[in-house]
Amino acid sequence: MVPALLLDAEAVTALVGDAVAAPSMHNAQPWLFRHQRGSNTLLLRMDASRTLPAEDPSGRGLHVGCGAALFNLRVAAAHGGREATTTLLPDPADPELLAVVTLVPQTASQGDLAALHPAVHRRHSSRRPFTGEQIPATVLDGLCGAARAEGVRLVFPDAWHAQTILELAQDARALEAASPETLEEVARWTSRAAPGEGIPADAFGPPAQDGRAVVRDFAASPQPAGSSAVFERAPCLALLGTREDGPLDWLLAGQGLQRVLLQATLDGLAATLNSQALEWPELRWAVRDPLSSMGHVQMLLRFGYGPEGPATPRRPVSEVLTTV
Ligand SMILES: Cc1cc2nc3c(=O)[nH]c(=O)nc-3n(C[C@H](O)[C@H](O)[C@H](O)COP(=O)(O)O)c2cc1C
């Protein structure tokens, strides 16, 4: 079916409903959308009331989450027969305006983006142990290609580097446990989260029995005794990186991250996101792959075959979309 030339309320609601299925740090959902009635343009703004000052003081994670939502929006547009033209950070005087997206009925096929649409609502973070079964190289190559298509890099560290990353994740947990501000912020978005936001307890993973997993244990919300689990010994870790490290790069990283995650979902993989070690400048530099020119690490991922994560809540579209 050919979409109407102008975006109507129903189309905009559907697009935003897909956008907000994106991952965001602590499920804070730091995004707002604005549509001018009778136009083909949607604005993506950050929701500055949803920042994480203790863990994300620069807003890096916020931009990554908003970039992921923007990628979902592009996928939703392609699925609906529209072509999306995106301008990132169009107004230097207004850094909270993250993107302007113009949507017109498509002239050329957007098949590669539209093919990802079935994964938009199926993708969830999974924090449970995976089977340890090896992922075929062709599948991993496909994930690297997904990142490249968005101008970012995905690197799979070798066994030695992966062990270093596991140690850095452990160091990050120790720093977190000693930081009252961090613990308070985690509690605000887990045990004390308002309905429609934050991470519910059923999405937590069990703590690793040997403490060596890149899965955040959300220590501020204690787990019942004896609930620890054995994680795969040699997890399939990946680093997503950008050449530079400013707001524009963070938005690119978010789009690349989401393209990788949607492709992984279609490939039958479960994925964990982890930014703990990246939240401490003294650890972040050490996470990067010393052998590749990947630049700045924006996300640590873990892939595997295993249980899909549960769906987490989202704010209703009516709360994040303004029509003027
Ligand atoms: C920038 C960013 C950082 C994140 N950091 C972590 C993390 O350190 N540990 C973790 O378990 N999940 C992390 N996540 C995943 C979010 O917690 C998750 O996306 C959110 O709770 C929504 O759940 P969903 O991914 O299942 O939709 C991160 C996500 C983003 C976008």
- Residue 215 has a pLDDT of 86
Query: Which residue's CA is the nearest one to ligand 1's atom 9?
Result: 274
Q: Does the pLDDT of residue 224 top 70, yes or no?
A: no
- Residue 220 has a pLDDT of 46
- Residue 1 has a pLDDT of 62
Give strand pairing partners of 88: 99
| Residue, of 207 and 77, whose pLDDT is higher | 77
Q: Which distant-in-sequence residues (6+ apart) come within 8 Å of 103 by Cβ?
A: 7, 15, 40, 41, 42, 77, 82, 83, 84, 85
Q: Which tens digits make up the pLDDT trace of 123-152? A: 999 999 999 999 999 999 999 999 999 999
- Residue 294 has a pLDDT of 78
Query: Which residue's CA is the nearest one to ligand 1's atom 17?
Result: 26
Check if 274 has its Cβ closer than 6 Å to any atom of ligand 1.
yes
Check if 24 has its Cβ closer than 6 Å to any atom of ligand 1.
yes
User: What does the CA dihedral 282, 257, 14, 125 come to, rounded to 10 degrees?
Assistant: -70
| Residue, of 147 and 228, whose pLDDT is higher | 147
DSSP H or E run through 101 = strand 97-105
Q: Which tens digits make up the pLDDT trace of 17-40? A: 999 999 999 999 999 999 999 899
Helices (H), 100-158: 111-114, 137-149
What is the overall mean pLDDT for the chain? 93
Distance between start and end Cα atoms, the chain: 27
CA of 217 to the centre of ligand 1 (A): 12
Domains of the chain, earliest start first: 9-122 (3.40.109.10), 137-304 (3.40.109.10)
The pTM is what?
A: 0.96
CA of 143 to the centre of ligand 1 (A): 19
Q: Which tens digits make up the pLDDT trace of 298-315? A: 999 999 999 999 999 999
Where does the pLDDT of residue 323 fall: very low under 50, low under 70, confident under 90, or very high at 90 and above? very high
Least confident piece of the model among 75-89, 100-114, 302-316: 100-114
| Residue, of 114 and 223, whose pLDDT is higher | 114
